Amino acid sequence: MSLPSADELVQLPEIEKQWAVKATHHADIYFKLITSIDGKTLHLTPIDDEIYEDFKKSFPDFAVDVINEDVMKSDEGKISWREWIMKYEKKVNDYNFGTLLRKNASSDYTEENTILVTRMQFFAIEIARNKQGLNSYLVQKK
């Protein structure tokens, strides 16, 4: 028996609502966290340093301040990210769960500034933003 392809799967409205609630809740909690604590001192996973080093090595030219969604979600980008994400399948819970990410680190979560990514993409980008001090302004802004 073979599994259906992604194109063959049907999203049930109730499942989509549950996902949207969970993803929005995650985004709300994360934003409250980075507006309360300087991101430089924040740990999102027990393996933040490993994720950060691997991300920098695997995507050396990836700009985390403002995400280029077209490049990230291009055919080539999808392949590169999929290969990278799968390394964390057994290391990070919900590694491929749909998660909301701010496109521009200098702005809040808004409809225009939010994209859907996997949890591992969120971790990679937000860990990098925190380590590079790109989220530090949020605590000072408060």
Question: What backbone phi and psi angles, to 5 degrees, belong to 116?
Answer: -95, 125
- Read off the pTM: 0.85
Whether 62 maps to a domain, the answer reads no
Whether 57 maps to a domain, the answer reads no
Two structure tokens written together for 127:
């860990």
Q: Which stretches of the chain are DSSP H helices?
A: 13-34, 48-58, 69-72, 75-86, 119-131, 136-141
Better-scored residue on pLDDT, 49 or 11? 49
Whether 49 maps to a domain, the answer reads no
**N- to C-terminal Cα separation, the chain:** 55
Average pLDDT, the chain: 88
> How far apart are the C-alpha atoms of 111 and 35, rounded to whole Å?
19
What is the total count of domains within the chain? 1
> How far apart are the C-alpha atoms of 79 and 49, rounded to whole Å?
23
Whether 136 maps to a domain, the answer reads yes
Write the CATH number for 86: 1.10.3560.10
Whether 8 maps to a domain, the answer reads no
pLDDT digits (tens, 9 = 90+) for 15-73: 666 767 788 888 989 999 999 999 899 999 999 999 999 999 999 999 999 999 999 99
115 Cβ neighbours under 8 A, 6+ residues apart = 67, 69, 100, 101, 103
Whether 48 maps to a domain, the answer reads no
